[in-house]
Amino acid sequence: MAGFRFALMLETGEPADPAVFATIIPRWQEGDEFLAGVELQRFRILHIAPEFDEDAAFDGCWLVEPVDG
């Protein structure tokens, strides 16, 4: 089963915690929410940067914000 890896950045320009989100779901949209990390932190995707080239370590970079609750 192939997976996808997305780099996560906060609006401040700092990496989110966790800094990487791995999933089997290839398609995401701005506004989508997801759970990541050991503590299952909820994040919302604010912006999706263009995809990286085939040799990149990540399939994309997302600007995210933590969601309370």
- Whole-model pTM: value is 0.86
Give me the pLDDT at residue 50, please.
73
Give phi and psi for 15, each to the nearest 5. -65, 145
CA distance readout (Å), 54 to 3, 17, 20, 23, 57 = 14, 25, 18, 17, 8
Rg over alpha carbons for the chain, rounded to the nearest Å, is 11
Tell me the domain boundaries of the chain: 4-66
Q: Per-residue pLDDT tens for 6-54?
A: 999 999 999 999 999 999 998 899 999 999 988 899 999 999 987 666 6
Check: CB of residue 20 under 8 Å from CB of residue 4.
Answer: no
Give me the pLDDT at residue 11, please.
95
